[in-house]
Amino acid sequence: MAETLRPERRLLGACARIDQIEQDAELAACVASQFSSVTPEIHLKWNSVENKEGQFWFGPVDRLIAFAQRNGQRVHGHALIWEQSTPDWALHQLRRDGDWGLVERHIHRVMGRYRDVIGDWDVVNEPIDTQNGRNGLRRNTFQQVFGSNYIERALETAHEAAPQARLLLNEYGFEYDNYVEVERRAAFLSLLQRLLDQGVPLHAVGIQAHLDLGKGPIPARDVADFLQAIADMGLAILITELDVKERDYRATIAERDMRVSDEVRRYLDIALTQPAVESVTTWGVTDRHSWLQVERGDQVDPERFGSAAPNRGLPFDSDLRPKPMHVALQDAIGQNQQALRR
Protein backbone atom coordinates (compact mmCIF):
# COMPACT_ATOMS: atom_id res chain seq x y z
CA MET A 1 0.00 0.00 0.00
CA ALA A 2 1.21 3.52 -0.73
CA GLU A 3 2.97 5.33 2.08
CA THR A 4 0.69 7.48 4.24
CA LEU A 5 1.81 11.10 4.16
CA ARG A 6 2.31 13.10 7.31
CA PRO A 7 0.02 16.14 7.46
CA GLU A 8 2.87 18.55 6.93
CA ARG A 9 3.61 16.79 3.66
CA ARG A 10 0.21 17.16 2.06
CA LEU A 11 0.03 17.09 -1.70
CA LEU A 12 -1.64 19.68 -3.91
CA GLY A 13 -3.10 18.17 -7.06
CA ALA A 14 -5.32 19.12 -9.97
CA CYS A 15 -7.38 17.28 -12.53
CA ALA A 16 -6.19 17.67 -16.09
CA ARG A 17 -6.79 16.61 -19.67
CA ILE A 18 -3.80 15.73 -21.79
CA ASP A 19 -5.44 17.04 -25.00
CA GLN A 20 -5.69 20.48 -23.36
CA ILE A 21 -2.15 20.29 -21.98
CA GLU A 22 -0.73 19.36 -25.38
CA GLN A 23 -2.49 22.24 -27.09
CA ASP A 24 -1.61 24.84 -24.51
CA ALA A 25 2.00 25.40 -23.46
CA GLU A 26 1.00 27.86 -20.73
CA LEU A 27 -1.37 25.36 -19.20
CA ALA A 28 1.27 22.62 -19.41
CA ALA A 29 3.79 24.81 -17.62
CA CYS A 30 1.26 25.72 -14.95
CA VAL A 31 0.20 22.12 -14.25
CA ALA A 32 3.83 20.99 -14.24
CA SER A 33 5.06 23.67 -11.86
CA GLN A 34 2.19 24.14 -9.42
CA PHE A 35 0.88 20.68 -8.62
CA SER A 36 2.34 17.47 -7.21
CA SER A 37 -0.30 15.15 -8.52
CA VAL A 38 -2.67 14.96 -11.46
CA THR A 39 -6.04 13.27 -11.83
CA PRO A 40 -7.19 12.43 -15.36
CA GLU A 41 -10.43 14.42 -15.67
CA ILE A 42 -11.95 12.04 -18.22
CA HIS A 43 -9.35 9.73 -19.81
CA LEU A 44 -9.57 6.83 -17.33
CA LYS A 45 -13.34 6.60 -17.36
CA TRP A 46 -14.91 3.54 -18.93
CA ASN A 47 -16.58 5.58 -21.71
CA SER A 48 -13.17 6.98 -22.59
CA VAL A 49 -11.05 3.82 -22.46
CA GLU A 50 -13.68 1.67 -24.18
CA ASN A 51 -16.24 3.91 -25.79
CA LYS A 52 -16.99 1.17 -28.31
CA GLU A 53 -16.97 -2.37 -27.10
CA GLY A 54 -13.59 -4.02 -27.50
CA GLN A 55 -11.90 -0.90 -28.90
CA PHE A 56 -9.49 0.34 -26.29
CA TRP A 57 -8.21 3.89 -26.16
CA PHE A 58 -5.46 4.18 -23.60
CA GLY A 59 -3.42 6.75 -25.52
CA PRO A 60 -4.57 9.83 -23.56
CA VAL A 61 -4.01 8.11 -20.19
CA ASP A 62 -0.56 6.95 -21.26
CA ARG A 63 0.36 10.45 -22.43
CA LEU A 64 -0.93 12.11 -19.24
CA ILE A 65 1.03 9.60 -17.17
CA ALA A 66 4.17 10.29 -19.22
CA PHE A 67 3.65 14.02 -18.62
CA ALA A 68 3.24 13.45 -14.88
CA GLN A 69 6.29 11.23 -14.73
CA ARG A 70 8.42 13.80 -16.54
CA ASN A 71 7.39 16.25 -13.82
CA GLY A 72 7.75 13.89 -10.87
CA GLN A 73 4.00 13.99 -10.20
CA ARG A 74 1.70 11.29 -8.91
CA VAL A 75 -1.36 10.16 -10.83
CA HIS A 76 -4.69 9.54 -9.12
CA GLY A 77 -6.94 6.84 -10.60
CA HIS A 78 -10.37 8.30 -11.40
CA ALA A 79 -12.81 6.48 -11.72
CA LEU A 80 -13.56 2.80 -12.29
CA ILE A 81 -17.30 2.47 -11.63
CA TRP A 82 -19.60 5.42 -12.25
CA GLU A 83 -22.92 5.13 -14.03
CA GLN A 84 -22.48 8.50 -15.72
CA SER A 85 -19.23 7.49 -17.36
CA THR A 86 -20.19 3.96 -18.29
CA PRO A 87 -20.66 3.55 -22.04
CA ASP A 88 -24.19 2.85 -23.25
CA TRP A 89 -23.20 -0.49 -24.75
CA ALA A 90 -21.95 -1.69 -21.33
CA LEU A 91 -25.05 -0.46 -19.48
CA HIS A 92 -27.19 -2.25 -22.03
CA GLN A 93 -25.25 -5.52 -21.65
CA LEU A 94 -25.30 -5.32 -17.87
CA ARG A 95 -29.09 -4.93 -17.90
CA ARG A 96 -29.49 -7.70 -20.46
CA ASP A 97 -27.06 -10.31 -19.06
CA GLY A 98 -26.49 -9.35 -15.43
CA ASP A 99 -22.93 -10.58 -15.85
CA TRP A 100 -20.43 -9.28 -13.28
CA GLY A 101 -17.70 -10.62 -15.57
CA LEU A 102 -18.08 -7.51 -17.71
CA VAL A 103 -17.32 -5.24 -14.75
CA GLU A 104 -14.53 -7.54 -13.65
CA ARG A 105 -12.81 -7.50 -17.03
CA HIS A 106 -13.02 -3.69 -17.15
CA ILE A 107 -11.51 -3.26 -13.68
CA HIS A 108 -8.75 -5.81 -14.32
CA ARG A 109 -7.90 -4.30 -17.69
CA VAL A 110 -7.60 -0.73 -16.45
CA MET A 111 -6.00 -1.37 -13.07
CA GLY A 112 -3.76 -4.08 -14.45
CA ARG A 113 -2.37 -1.74 -17.09
CA TYR A 114 -1.56 1.04 -14.60
CA ARG A 115 -0.90 -1.06 -11.48
CA ASP A 116 2.71 0.09 -11.25
CA VAL A 117 2.08 3.81 -11.70
CA ILE A 118 -1.24 4.54 -10.03
CA GLY A 119 -1.42 3.85 -6.30
CA ASP A 120 -4.84 5.28 -5.40
CA TRP A 121 -8.08 4.46 -7.22
CA ASP A 122 -11.61 5.83 -7.01
CA VAL A 123 -13.24 2.44 -7.35
CA VAL A 124 -16.85 3.56 -7.00
CA ASN A 125 -17.76 7.15 -7.73
CA GLU A 126 -20.83 8.82 -6.24
CA PRO A 127 -22.75 5.88 -4.77
CA ILE A 128 -24.84 8.01 -2.37
CA ASP A 129 -28.32 9.37 -3.11
CA THR A 130 -30.52 10.09 -0.13
CA GLN A 131 -33.34 11.68 -2.11
CA ASN A 132 -34.16 9.16 -4.80
CA GLY A 133 -31.99 6.28 -3.73
CA ARG A 134 -32.62 3.11 -1.76
CA ASN A 135 -31.32 3.10 1.82
CA GLY A 136 -29.21 6.12 0.93
CA LEU A 137 -27.61 4.43 -2.07
CA ARG A 138 -28.00 5.68 -5.62
CA ARG A 139 -30.32 3.67 -7.85
CA ASN A 140 -28.09 3.07 -10.84
CA THR A 141 -27.66 0.23 -13.27
CA PHE A 142 -25.06 -1.50 -11.09
CA GLN A 143 -27.33 -1.30 -8.04
CA GLN A 144 -30.38 -2.45 -9.96
CA VAL A 145 -28.62 -5.39 -11.61
CA PHE A 146 -26.35 -6.61 -8.80
CA GLY A 147 -28.00 -5.18 -5.69
CA SER A 148 -26.47 -2.73 -3.23
CA ASN A 149 -23.47 -4.95 -2.67
CA TYR A 150 -22.14 -4.02 -6.13
CA ILE A 151 -19.96 -1.68 -4.09
CA GLU A 152 -18.42 -4.54 -2.10
CA ARG A 153 -17.95 -6.55 -5.29
CA ALA A 154 -16.25 -3.66 -7.06
CA LEU A 155 -13.83 -3.14 -4.16
CA GLU A 156 -13.06 -6.84 -3.95
CA THR A 157 -12.53 -7.06 -7.69
CA ALA A 158 -10.25 -4.02 -7.58
CA HIS A 159 -8.25 -5.58 -4.77
CA GLU A 160 -7.74 -8.73 -6.84
CA ALA A 161 -6.66 -6.65 -9.83
CA ALA A 162 -4.11 -4.58 -7.89
CA PRO A 163 -3.50 -5.94 -4.39
CA GLN A 164 -1.08 -3.12 -3.52
CA ALA A 165 -3.44 -0.31 -4.48
CA ARG A 166 -5.31 1.93 -2.07
CA LEU A 167 -9.00 1.75 -2.83
CA LEU A 168 -11.42 4.66 -2.42
CA LEU A 169 -15.05 5.61 -2.61
CA ASN A 170 -15.34 9.14 -4.01
CA GLU A 171 -18.37 11.28 -3.18
CA TYR A 172 -19.76 14.83 -3.16
CA GLY A 173 -22.26 16.85 -1.15
CA PHE A 174 -20.93 16.86 2.41
CA GLU A 175 -20.04 20.51 3.05
CA TYR A 176 -23.20 22.43 3.89
CA ASP A 177 -25.93 22.72 6.45
CA ASN A 178 -29.08 21.65 4.64
CA TYR A 179 -31.17 18.54 5.17
CA VAL A 180 -29.88 16.86 2.03
CA GLU A 181 -26.23 17.16 2.99
CA VAL A 182 -26.95 16.24 6.63
CA GLU A 183 -28.50 13.01 5.34
CA ARG A 184 -25.72 12.48 2.82
CA ARG A 185 -23.06 12.68 5.53
CA ALA A 186 -24.95 10.14 7.64
CA ALA A 187 -25.58 7.80 4.70
CA PHE A 188 -21.92 7.88 3.68
CA LEU A 189 -20.73 7.10 7.20
CA SER A 190 -23.11 4.15 7.47
CA LEU A 191 -21.97 2.84 4.09
CA LEU A 192 -18.33 3.05 5.17
CA GLN A 193 -19.09 1.30 8.46
CA ARG A 194 -21.00 -1.46 6.69
CA LEU A 195 -18.11 -2.07 4.28
CA LEU A 196 -15.48 -2.10 7.02
CA ASP A 197 -17.59 -4.41 9.22
CA GLN A 198 -17.63 -6.87 6.34
CA GLY A 199 -13.87 -6.67 5.93
CA VAL A 200 -14.15 -5.29 2.42
CA PRO A 201 -10.88 -3.79 1.08
CA LEU A 202 -11.44 -0.06 1.48
CA HIS A 203 -8.54 2.15 2.48
CA ALA A 204 -9.48 5.76 1.92
CA VAL A 205 -12.23 8.09 0.83
CA GLY A 206 -12.35 10.87 -1.70
CA ILE A 207 -14.27 13.92 -0.52
CA GLN A 208 -14.96 15.89 -3.67
CA ALA A 209 -15.65 19.24 -1.95
CA HIS A 210 -17.40 21.09 -4.76
CA LEU A 211 -17.99 24.23 -2.73
CA ASP A 212 -21.00 26.40 -3.56
CA LEU A 213 -21.48 30.05 -2.64
CA GLY A 214 -25.25 29.61 -2.76
CA LYS A 215 -25.44 27.06 0.02
CA GLY A 216 -24.83 29.25 3.05
CA PRO A 217 -22.08 29.06 5.65
CA ILE A 218 -20.05 25.89 6.03
CA PRO A 219 -20.99 24.31 9.39
CA ALA A 220 -17.51 23.91 10.84
CA ARG A 221 -18.42 21.55 13.69
CA ASP A 222 -20.47 19.22 11.47
CA VAL A 223 -17.80 19.01 8.78
CA ALA A 224 -15.04 18.47 11.32
CA ASP A 225 -17.06 15.75 13.09
CA PHE A 226 -17.78 14.08 9.77
CA LEU A 227 -14.10 13.97 8.82
CA GLN A 228 -13.20 12.78 12.33
CA ALA A 229 -15.73 9.95 12.06
CA ILE A 230 -14.05 8.82 8.84
CA ALA A 231 -10.61 9.09 10.39
CA ASP A 232 -11.81 7.09 13.43
CA MET A 233 -12.63 4.25 11.04
CA GLY A 234 -8.96 4.17 10.09
CA LEU A 235 -9.51 5.54 6.60
CA ALA A 236 -7.32 8.13 4.90
CA ILE A 237 -9.07 11.16 3.42
CA LEU A 238 -8.27 12.83 0.10
CA ILE A 239 -9.96 16.05 -0.96
CA THR A 240 -10.38 15.11 -4.60
CA GLU A 241 -12.34 17.75 -6.55
CA LEU A 242 -12.15 21.11 -4.81
CA ASP A 243 -13.63 24.06 -6.67
CA VAL A 244 -16.19 26.80 -6.01
CA LYS A 245 -19.50 27.36 -7.79
CA GLU A 246 -20.43 31.02 -7.80
CA ARG A 247 -24.07 32.04 -7.67
CA ASP A 248 -23.89 35.82 -7.84
CA TYR A 249 -21.95 37.07 -10.85
CA ARG A 250 -22.91 40.74 -10.45
CA ALA A 251 -20.04 41.93 -8.29
CA THR A 252 -16.66 43.11 -9.53
CA ILE A 253 -14.11 40.49 -10.50
CA ALA A 254 -12.03 41.39 -7.45
CA GLU A 255 -14.97 40.89 -5.11
CA ARG A 256 -15.94 37.63 -6.74
CA ASP A 257 -12.41 36.31 -6.48
CA MET A 258 -12.28 37.19 -2.79
CA ARG A 259 -15.56 35.37 -2.13
CA VAL A 260 -14.20 32.27 -3.86
CA SER A 261 -10.93 32.43 -2.01
CA ASP A 262 -12.59 33.06 1.36
CA GLU A 263 -14.76 29.99 0.89
CA VAL A 264 -11.71 27.87 0.10
CA ARG A 265 -9.92 29.23 3.18
CA ARG A 266 -12.95 28.51 5.37
CA TYR A 267 -13.21 24.97 4.10
CA LEU A 268 -9.50 24.16 4.29
CA ASP A 269 -9.25 25.69 7.77
CA ILE A 270 -11.72 23.04 8.87
CA ALA A 271 -10.58 20.14 6.68
CA LEU A 272 -6.84 20.49 7.22
CA THR A 273 -7.09 20.40 10.99
CA GLN A 274 -7.93 16.74 10.42
CA PRO A 275 -4.62 14.84 10.21
CA ALA A 276 -6.17 12.06 8.12
CA VAL A 277 -6.58 14.51 5.22
CA GLU A 278 -3.51 13.95 3.10
CA SER A 279 -4.05 15.83 -0.14
CA VAL A 280 -6.11 18.52 -1.82
CA THR A 281 -6.89 18.31 -5.53
CA THR A 282 -8.69 21.03 -7.44
CA TRP A 283 -11.15 20.02 -10.16
CA GLY A 284 -9.40 21.94 -12.87
CA VAL A 285 -6.67 24.53 -13.01
CA THR A 286 -7.95 27.54 -14.89
CA ASP A 287 -11.26 29.20 -15.74
CA ARG A 288 -10.19 28.75 -19.38
CA HIS A 289 -11.23 25.10 -19.07
CA SER A 290 -13.75 24.90 -16.27
CA TRP A 291 -16.62 22.46 -15.99
CA LEU A 292 -18.41 25.04 -13.81
CA GLN A 293 -20.91 27.15 -15.73
CA VAL A 294 -23.37 29.91 -15.07
CA GLU A 295 -26.63 28.10 -14.35
CA ARG A 296 -30.30 28.95 -14.49
CA GLY A 297 -31.21 30.78 -11.28
CA ASP A 298 -27.78 32.35 -10.84
CA GLN A 299 -27.64 36.12 -10.38
CA VAL A 300 -26.21 37.64 -13.53
CA ASP A 301 -25.93 41.26 -14.61
CA PRO A 302 -26.81 41.12 -18.34
CA GLU A 303 -24.59 44.09 -19.13
CA ARG A 304 -21.62 42.55 -17.43
CA PHE A 305 -22.32 38.97 -18.46
CA GLY A 306 -19.89 38.73 -21.36
CA SER A 307 -16.83 39.68 -19.40
CA ALA A 308 -17.99 38.43 -16.02
CA ALA A 309 -18.60 34.81 -17.04
CA PRO A 310 -17.33 32.16 -16.74
CA ASN A 311 -17.40 30.89 -13.20
CA ARG A 312 -14.19 31.86 -11.40
CA GLY A 313 -13.96 28.94 -8.97
CA LEU A 314 -10.50 27.63 -9.89
CA PRO A 315 -7.03 28.83 -8.83
CA PHE A 316 -5.98 30.45 -12.14
CA ASP A 317 -7.98 32.80 -14.36
CA SER A 318 -8.55 32.41 -18.09
CA ASP A 319 -5.18 34.04 -18.78
CA LEU A 320 -3.47 31.66 -16.37
CA ARG A 321 -2.92 34.43 -13.84
CA PRO A 322 -3.04 33.19 -10.24
CA LYS A 323 -6.09 34.37 -8.31
CA PRO A 324 -6.67 34.74 -4.58
CA MET A 325 -7.85 31.11 -4.53
CA HIS A 326 -4.35 30.12 -5.57
CA VAL A 327 -2.91 32.12 -2.68
CA ALA A 328 -5.39 30.46 -0.31
CA LEU A 329 -4.22 27.04 -1.50
CA GLN A 330 -0.59 28.05 -1.19
CA ASP A 331 -1.17 29.31 2.33
CA ALA A 332 -3.02 26.17 3.35
CA ILE A 333 -0.96 23.53 1.64
CA GLY A 334 1.13 24.61 -1.28
CA GLN A 335 4.53 25.27 0.24
CA ASN A 336 7.19 22.68 -0.39
CA GLN A 337 5.36 21.06 -3.26
CA GLN A 338 8.61 20.77 -5.20
CA ALA A 339 10.15 18.86 -2.30
CA LEU A 340 7.27 16.39 -2.41
CA ARG A 341 7.98 15.31 -5.97
CA ARG A 342 9.37 11.87 -6.35
Binding site for ligand G3I (CB under 6 A): 41-42, 45, 84-85, 125, 208, 241, 291
In the complex, least distance from residue 186 CB atom to ligand G3I, rounded to whole angstroms: 21
Query: 12 or 209: whose CB is closer to ligand G3I?
Result: 209
Query: 36 or 125: whose CB is closer to ligand G3I?
Result: 125
In the complex, least distance from residue 71 CB atom to ligand G3I, rounded to whole angstroms: 21
Query: 125 or 130: whose CB is closer to ligand G3I?
Result: 125
How far is it, in rounded angstroms, from Cα 118 to Cα 335? Answer: 24
Query: 279 or 340: whose CB is closer to ligand G3I?
Result: 279
In the complex, least distance from residue 13 CB atom to ligand G3I, rounded to whole angstroms: 14
Query: 53 or 97: whose CB is closer to ligand G3I?
Result: 53
Helices assigned H by DSSP within the chain: 18-22, 25-34, 46-49, 59-70, 88-97, 100-114, 141-146, 150-161, 179-197, 220-232, 253-271, 305-308, 324-329, 337-340
**Cα 195–chain centre separation:** 21
In the complex, least distance from residue 211 CB atom to ligand G3I, rounded to whole angstroms: 13
In 3D space, the residue among 45, 94, 41, 37 whose CA is nearest the CA of residue 69 turns out to be 37
Q: Are 107 and 52 in contact (CB under 8 A)?
A: no
Per-position DSSP letters for 202-224, written without gaps between them: --EEEE--EEETTS----HHHHH
Residue, CB closest to ligand G3I: 291
Query: 68 or 242: whose CB is closer to ligand G3I?
Result: 242
| 180 to 113, 131, 149, 247: CA distances (angstroms) | 38, 7, 23, 19
How far is it, in rounded angstroms, from Cα 100 to Cα 153? Answer: 9
Helix (H, G, I), strand (E, B) or coil at 320: coil
In the complex, least distance from residue 258 CB atom to ligand G3I, rounded to whole angstroms: 24
Query: 74 or 76: whose CB is closer to ligand G3I?
Result: 76
In the complex, least distance from residue 122 CB atom to ligand G3I, rounded to whole angstroms: 8
In the complex, least distance from residue 84 CB atom to ligand G3I, rounded to whole angstroms: 6
Q: Between vectors from CA 93 to CA 88 and to CA 94, what angle results, nearest 5°?
A: 100
